[in-house]
Amino acid sequence: MDDNIEDMTRIFFKLHICAVCGRYYTEIDNVGAHTCRYHPGKYDSFNDTYTCCSEKRRYGSTDYQRYMSFTPDKPQAYRSFSSGCTPCDCRSIYDNPLPYKDVDVKEYAPMLMFMKDVASRPGYNESKLRLERVKRPKDAQTIFS
Ligand SMILES: [Zn+2]
Ligand SMILES: [Zn+2]
């Protein structure tokens, strides 16, 4: 193995924790798999909604919920917003040597043999040979525009 491949292996097999859903993952399974969620739109503070899906802030989190015990299986019930309406890859809470942007498949070709079902991942763009981190909405402004 040359150094380059060793570096790649380290990057793709590093264990991360997702900042959004709290799951453990490695990039080898994560890139283009879209197992997480985000809001592609902007937050509209005037109307207290996201522009992508019009989700409204939940104001239930005051008196009643404050006295309920925290349930780790339903953390979203205690947030003002859901973590998202649109599929995307998990995002690490750690420094990630693989940036959170589209992955050029050719650049990381040696890793392909470790990736399961690359071609059937939702983020796989066959014409551009890329693994895309997020499902882009066709309309609207997004955080990636
Ligand atoms: Zn949304
Ligand atoms: Zn996640």
20-67 pLDDT, tens per residue?
999 999 999 999 999 999 999 999 989 989 999 999 887 655 544 444
- The bound ligand whose nearest atom lies closest to the alpha carbon of 24 is 2
Q: Please tell me the distance between residue 35's alpha carbon and the centre of ligand 2 in angstroms.
A: 7
Q: Please tell me the distance between residue 45's alpha carbon and the centre of ligand 1 in angstroms.
A: 14
- The bound ligand whose nearest atom lies closest to the alpha carbon of 89 is 2
Contact 91, 99 (CB under 8 A): no
Q: Please tell me the distance between residue 62's alpha carbon and the centre of ligand 1 in angstroms.
A: 23
Residues whose CB is under 5 A from ligand 2 (ion)?
18, 20-21, 36, 90
**CA 31, CA 90: separation in Å to the nearest integer?**
8
77-119 pLDDT, tens per residue?
456 778 899 999 999 999 999 999 999 999 999 999 999 999 9
Q: Is 49 helix (H, G, I), strand (E, B) or coil?
A: strand
